[in-house]
């Protein structure tokens, strides 16, 4: 029995049993591997996708529960979403494995809150673990994406200064 899901704006027929978690349908059946498996019990946020714009954990969401809701995955953001651009400008990723989930949580936050405070960011992002500890760059990139707003063009000439200021990092020496 096939179910039809709305994934990134496309009606998509899937064969998996209705109780199958959305995560495994996305990854194994549809080959959309940007959404990651981290814990399998909604503890780490690596599998975060949007359901009608709300961030949810796809590892514990059976496809039967998705119904007609619109699913948006990291692939659906298109690669140049303001949050993704901010992520690149700040060199947020280290190992990178959690970042799809981080970006999905951050983009959902910014869609609802154009100017999130530190507290807003904490409460929206506390469900997403980053074992590399890129948290302060995540925070800086969210604020940056909020400041720069929707689609950005070329990187700013003064971007390094902006990054240094936003991340609190300062560089000295450099071996000369």
Among residues 5, 47, 56, 77, the one that binds another protein under rule CB under 8 A: 77
Q: Which residues contact 135 (CB under 8 A, 6 or more apart)?
A: none
The strand pair at 48-51 and 70-72 is best described as antiparallel
Instruction: Decide: is 9 part of the binding site for another protein (CB under 8 A).
Output: no
Among residues 56, 73, 116, 166, the one that binds another protein under rule CB under 8 A: 73
Instruction: Decide: is 62 part of the binding site for another protein (CB under 8 A).
Output: no
Among residues 4, 123, 149, 151, the one that binds another protein under rule CB under 8 A: 123
d(CA 101, CA 47): 6
Q: How far is the CB of 169 from another protein (least distance, A)?
A: 4
Closest CA to 148 of 102, 76, 65, 89: 89
Alpha helices by DSSP H, listed for 72-167, are 82-89, 99-112, 118-125, 135-148, 159-167
Among residues 28, 54, 114, 117, the one that binds another protein under rule CB under 8 A: 28
- Residues 141-170 contacting another protein, CB under 8 A: 160, 163-164, 167-170
Among residues 5, 38, 109, 144, the one that binds another protein under rule CB under 8 A: 38
């Amino acid at each position: 029995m096939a179910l039809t899901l709305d994934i990134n704006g496309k009606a998509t027929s899937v064969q998996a049993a209705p109780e199958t978690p959305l995560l495994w349908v996305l990854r194994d059946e549809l080959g959309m591997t940007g959404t990651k498996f981290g814990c399998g019990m909604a503890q780490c946020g690596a599998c975060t996708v949007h359901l009608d714009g709300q961030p949810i954990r796809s590892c514990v969401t059976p496809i039967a529960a998705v119904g007609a809701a619109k699913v948006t995955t990291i692939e659906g953001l298109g690669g140049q979403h303001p949050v993704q651009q901010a992520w690149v400008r700040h060199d947020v990723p280290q190992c990178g494995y959690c970042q799809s989930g981080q970006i999905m949580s951050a983009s959902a936050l910014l869609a609802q809150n154009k100017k999130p405070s530190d507290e807003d960011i904490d409460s929206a992002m506390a469900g997403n673990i980053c074992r590399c500890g890129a948290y302060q760059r995540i925070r800086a990139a969210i604020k940056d994406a909020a400041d720069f707003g929707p689609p950005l063009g070329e990187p700013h000439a003064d971007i390094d200064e902006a990054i240094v200021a936003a991340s609190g990092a300062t560089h000295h020496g450099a071996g000369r």
